[in-house]
Amino acid sequence: MADLSVNICGVEFKNPVIPASGVFGYGREYEELFPLSKLGGIATKGTTITKRTGNLSPRIAEISSGMINSVGLQNPGIDYFIDTELPNLMTKDTVIIANIAGSTVDECVEIARKLDNTDVHMIELNISCPNVKQGGAAFGTSCTSAENITSEVRKATKKPLIVKLSPNVTSITDIAKAVESAGADSVSLINTLLGMKIDINTRRPVLKNNVGGMSGSAIFPLAVRMVWQTANAVNIPVIGMGGISSGKDAIEMMMAGASAVQVGAAIFTDPYAPVKIIDEMNEWLDSKNIKSVNEIVGSVEIW
């Protein structure tokens, strides 16, 4: 068995596979299927300062090789998360990453401050949600605003800070460098790509929000390209995601430069996907006689 453990910003992960924010809730439904301790970590559903009911339905639809969603950050708010969900998650023997979002910089700062007083292992600041009217991707699509929100949240917490980047930009490396200079300890990418699906019979968009974020296998090569570019542009660890659905996808993402991976939409078609991905990575590494998964990080040999 290969050594799958990775260390990101001083935090030890038993393996590099993490269910992505928004597809795993707080793990409660999944722990009926497998022990959460099998996972490298868990990125929790994006938490805002107060409860949000999200956008109107329909807000999820299938597309070729993936899905499009406009959930709009439905969540019970930071106090509920800290009082009710976090204590349960902290007993699961896996790394807990609290994903946070806000309509304003001050909201994100306040959430980070509250989390700083908890035992949560890491904070993932989402500056890339395409489905909210205020904040969200607006923070992540200009270097100035990305840098500003990162430096303000940085001041509010000593926890390792991951900043989650939007692919809906001209140059993801410029944004990555901006958040690195503002104190991010790591970047994660990619969030969903803004898309649209129209029902040609009703001539209506299938999502009530008209547009939504694309995820799943359809976006995998795009995510690999962005992770590769970003890993070559910054000196902080990159957590790669976007369309990963197999152990081989995870290996490819790590060869592109990811130190760990997150798995999103694939969990909706197969709730066991993260566990299968861990097993498949192990098998592949063993078949190549590679002793540690760290050996493959950034190992792509470009032409």
Q: Hey, which residues are catalytic here?
A: 129
Cβ nearer to ligand FMN, comparing 2 with 138: 138
DSSP-derived pairing of the beta strands 60-63 and 66-69: antiparallel
Contact between 291 and 3 under an 8 Å Cβ cutoff? The reply is yes
Cβ nearer to ligand FMN, comparing 4 with 223: 223
Minimum Å distance from CB 12 to ligand FMN? 22
Cβ nearer to ligand FMN, comparing 99 with 259: 99
Helices (H) and strands (E) in the chain, counts: 10, 16
Contact between 178 and 25 under an 8 Å Cβ cutoff? The reply is no
Minimum Å distance from CB 303 to ligand FMN? 27
Question: Phi and psi of 43, rounded to 5°?
Answer: -95, 120
Minimum Å distance from CB 300 to ligand FMN? 20
DSSP 8-state class, residue 12? E
| Omega cis (within 30) before 58 | yes
Contact between 18 and 39 under an 8 Å Cβ cutoff? The reply is yes
Contact between 6 and 40 under an 8 Å Cβ cutoff? The reply is yes
Minimum Å distance from CB 216 to ligand FMN? 5
Q: Which residues bind ligand FMN (CB under 6 A)?
A: 20-23, 45-46, 69, 71, 73, 99, 126, 129, 164, 191-192, 215-216, 219, 241-244, 263-266
| Omega cis (within 30) before 239 | no
Cβ nearer to ligand FMN, comparing 2 with 149: 149
DSSP-derived pairing of the beta strands 122-126 and 95-100: parallel
HSE (CB half, 13 Å, CA atoms) of 283? 9
Minimum Å distance from CB 163 to ligand FMN? 10
Cβ nearer to ligand FMN, comparing 267 with 290: 267
Minimum Å distance from CB 59 to ligand FMN? 8
Cβ nearer to ligand FMN, comparing 24 with 284: 24
Distance of CA 14 to the CA centre of its chain: 18
DSSP-derived pairing of the beta strands 211-215 and 66-69: antiparallel
Query: For residues 171 and 178, what is the distance between their CA atoms, to the nearest angstrom?
Result: 11
Query: For residues 69 and 219, what is the distance between their CA atoms, to the nearest angstrom?
Result: 14
Residues in the chain: 303
